[in-house]
Amino acid sequence: MKTRLILLVLLLHSLMMQGQSWEFTSKLYLIDGQGTIDSVLFGNNFSATIGLDNEWNEQDISNIPWNKPEIRSILRKDDTVDCVIQSFVSDSLFPANYDLKIDMRPSGAYNPEGTSFIFKLEAEHYPVEIYSDFSDMYENSFYCSCFTEIHLYKDTCEDETPASCEPGYSHLYTINDSTESYITIKLDFESGINRPGIRNTILKSGNPSGSTLLLDYTGPMQLFDLSGRKLLDQHVERMRPVDIGPLPKGCYLVMTNLMNFKIIKTDILN
């Protein structure tokens, strides 16, 4: 086990030395029934810390009345205040109880306080729509949407339908009443599996992908969904389009003789 941990640390260090970044900034938008908009910024950066960072203009507004509609990132030292989802933040990770409009956390794939965010919202006019902008995570970090978890919770901490995590600006939830108050996001990061920008990749068509794949590779290729079902098994030629148009949007694993990697299939066209 110790040997595996050392190898993992060396792998992560090697990837970062190649000029890749764990850093990103994302945004959640709230739009209430009268069209009023509010937002919150959150993300990871190497220079960030848990708690309050003057560098990132983080300010504790927990004692300021809510300006409904409003959405805040909440940091909770324990689970006695509000509805802290212990499945996402399992220990007392924060130095105090904070409400933030800007919440930057330390970078790192296996850093629960850096990758698990809880947001609380309040509004008067429903329905409320929640949108995300995850562009920066896809473009500038090791982020991968395949195993990222996004959940809507009621005041009782009852889990509602998970949302999908898509690149760019996308709709997450329609919130119908005041009992739905908490959104949790537990981010997943890749630790060596190919994504856009990683060097020595054979994927040349971009990720997310649309209707075709282009590989700098000749040989056998298999494609699986995340349940392990084999959907493609064929010989491919270098830079000759591979048709994935009929596949539904989602995450897939591509296996070749040179390397294995995940792709995100969207409805966009190549």
Residue 83 and residue 69: Cα distance in Å, rounded? 19
pLDDT of residue 7: 39
- The DSSP-derived string for the chain is -HHHHHHHHHHHHHHHHTT----EEEEEEEE-TT--EEEEEEEEETT--SS--GGGT----TTSPP-SSEEEEEE-SSTTSS---TTTS-S--SSS-EEESEEEEE--TT-HHHHEEEEEEE-SSS-EEEEEE-HHHHHHSSB-STT-EEEEEETT--B-PPBP--SSEEEEEEE-STTEEEEEEE--B-SSSB-TT-TT-SB-S-SSB-SEE-BS--EEEEEEETT--EEEEEEE-TT--EE-TTSPSEEEEEEESS-EEEEEE-S---
Which CATH number applies to 193-270: 2.60.40, 3.30.43, 1.10.15, 2.170.130?
2.60.40
Intervals of the chain under pLDDT 50: 1-20, 191-200, 269-270
Residues pairing with 117 in the sheet: 185
Cβ neighbour number for residue 133 with a 10 Å cutoff: 17
Break the chain into its structural domains and give their ranges.
Answer: 2-186, 193-270
Whether residue 89 contacts residue 78, with contact meaning beta carbons closer than 8 Å, is answered with no
pLDDT of residue 226: 67
Using one digit for the tens of pLDDT, what is the confidence trace for 130-160?
999 988 887 776 666 666 889 898 887 787 6
pLDDT of residue 18: 39
> For the whole prediction, is pTM greater than 0.75?
no
pLDDT of residue 161: 75
pLDDT of residue 12: 39
Residue 76 and residue 81: Cα distance in Å, rounded? 7
pLDDT of residue 81: 66
